[in-house]
Amino acid sequence: MNRPDPDCPAGGPGPVDLGALAPRRAFLDRLPAIGRQAADRPPEDPLLEAARSFVPVAAALAILAWIAGGSAIDASGAITLAAGAPDEQRAFVALGGVRVGEAP
């Protein structure tokens, strides 16, 4: 509990034994299978990857236009777009008063 820690200054609090929080044996035993599953997955389509980076911009523009009262804007389409965006950008969309579902 109080072993010296070469990575910390002298006089500082020593480490607490956190060993009980290590991943469970059953999980560690599953890792090779997870590795195989990951290796078998095809890499993401580069086109889809590029589209993903465009999604937040498209969603933000659509929402701004919707807030401005544009009748031709399909808000649900914007929500669908925004659902693929990272959390930070979905928060921006939420600022527009639109509830966005959990991303897939």
CB under 8 A, 24+ apart: contacts of 15-24: none
When asked if residue 4 is in the footprint of other proteins (CB under 8 A), the reply is no
CA distances from 77 to 25, 68, 98 (A): 45, 16, 12
| Total residues in contact with other proteins, by rule CB under 8 A | 38
Within 10 angstroms of residue 40's Cβ, the number of other Cβ atoms is: 7
Among 10, 22, 68, 72, binds other proteins (CB under 8 A): 22
> Least CB distance from residue 37 to other proteins, whole Å?
7
When asked if residue 20 is in the footprint of other proteins (CB under 8 A), the reply is yes
When asked if residue 47 is in the footprint of other proteins (CB under 8 A), the reply is no
When asked if residue 46 is in the footprint of other proteins (CB under 8 A), the reply is yes
Hunting for tokens 């990272």 — which residue is that?
Answer: 86
